[in-house]
Structure formats: C-alpha cells, structure tokens
Amino acid sequence: MNLSWMAWTQPTAIFFIVIFCLLITMSIWEKISPGGGPRVGILRFETTRGDRLFLSLLGSAFIHLAWLLFAGSNLWWAMGVSILYAGFVFSFV
C-alpha cells in the first residue's frame, strides 16, 4: 500500500501515536475501573474521564494556537502549559 500521498512526517506520526496511546490508556483505565468516573465538577454538570480527556486535548490545541499567536514558535512552553491545564481539568472539571 502506497501511503506517500498522506505525506507523513516524523512529528505528525509521533503526534498521532501519542493520541492513539492515550486512547489505549483510557481503554485500559476503563477496564480497571469501569463507569468512567462520573462527577459534577466546576462546570456544574456531570463529566466522565473521557469528557475530561476531550476537554484537555481541545483546550491544549487552543493553548498552542494562542502561544503561536502571542508568544512565538517555541511550543515546548505551550506544551508545559497544556499539561498543567490537563492536570487542572482532570482534577477539578
């Protein structure tokens, strides 16, 4: 199968592998403790850990875009902020 039209690069491959691994981790987590750990957080409605992962990833994307817009192209800092943000989401939302 010729996949050259997809124009893979190493960074994007790593990106998707990380996303894929996150999904696998979530599946294993669900297997260990089923039900998704629902709770009502600071957003005042019920979220499961899947919702929290989605919010973390979506928020991280916007953090990276905001970093590009306001701070520059060194995205490691944005990555740091995103991880802090994800920790916040998983703890409080």
Residues at the site binding another protein, with contacts judged by CB under 8 A: 4-9, 11-12, 15-16, 34-35, 45-46, 54-55, 58, 61-62, 65, 68-69, 73, 75
Nearer to another protein, 9 or 28 (CB): 9
* Distance between CA atoms of residues 76 and 18, nearest Å: 16
CB of 66 to another protein, least distance (A): 9
HEC states along 53-67? HHHHHHHHHHHHHHH
Nearer to another protein, 30 or 84 (CB): 30
6 or 28: CB nearest another protein: 6
Please classify residue 2 by burial: count the beta carbons closer than 10 Å to its beta carbon, then call 0-12 exposed, 13-18 middle and 19+ buried.
Answer: exposed
